[in-house]
């Protein structure tokens, strides 16, 4: 069954929130606060219109729970970073994963064309 991406994401979020609530909260601490932006955009767009309060109420009903989850996630992540809660967990977004190490700038071996050119340039003399 093909579903739209937002609906599939909502189903996955709900499933993960039930199965792994602490991990979901830690990851939501890195969330971009998109629901807050949606509520703010609805407030600005509907300001001064006769149905403005209905538009704002609809935005709060749709995005409000996600905004609350983002705020709880930010709070939980701050407490986790300070070592006050969940010391047995590792945040997936800011953990020390060895696979996340950047690739070194220099090649591992000393061979290759770049090393040959560098050696050749060192042996050349300049003409004055």
Where are the chain's structural domains?
5-95
> Is the CB of residue 69 less than 8 Å from the CB of residue 28?
yes
pLDDT of amino acid 101: 52
pLDDT of amino acid 91: 86
pLDDT of amino acid 102: 53
79-95 pLDDT, tens digit per residue, is 999 999 998 988 888 86
User: Residue 17, Cβ neighbours under 10 Å: how many?
Assistant: 14
> Is the CB of residue 79 less than 8 Å from the CB of residue 85?
yes
> Is the CB of residue 29 less than 8 Å from the CB of residue 76?
yes
Residues (pLDDT < 50) of the chain are 98
Say if pTM beats, i.e. exceeds, 0.95. no
């Amino acid at each position: 069954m093909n579903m739209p991406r937002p609906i599939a994401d909502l189903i996955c979020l709900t499933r993960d929130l039930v199965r792994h609530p602490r991990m979901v909260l830690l990851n939501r601490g890195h969330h971009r606060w998109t629901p807050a932006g949606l509520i703010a955009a609805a407030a600005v767009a509907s300001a001064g219109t006769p149905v403005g309060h209905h538009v704002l109420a609809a935005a709060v009903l749709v995005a409000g729970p996600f905004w609350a989850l983002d705020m709880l996630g930010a709070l939980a992540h701050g407490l986790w970073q300070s070592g006050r809660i969940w010391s047995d967990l590792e945040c997936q977004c800011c953990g020390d994963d060895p696979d996340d190490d950047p690739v070194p700038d220099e090649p591992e071996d000393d061979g290759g064309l770049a090393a040959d050119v560098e050696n050749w340039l060192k042996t050349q003399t300049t003409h004055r």
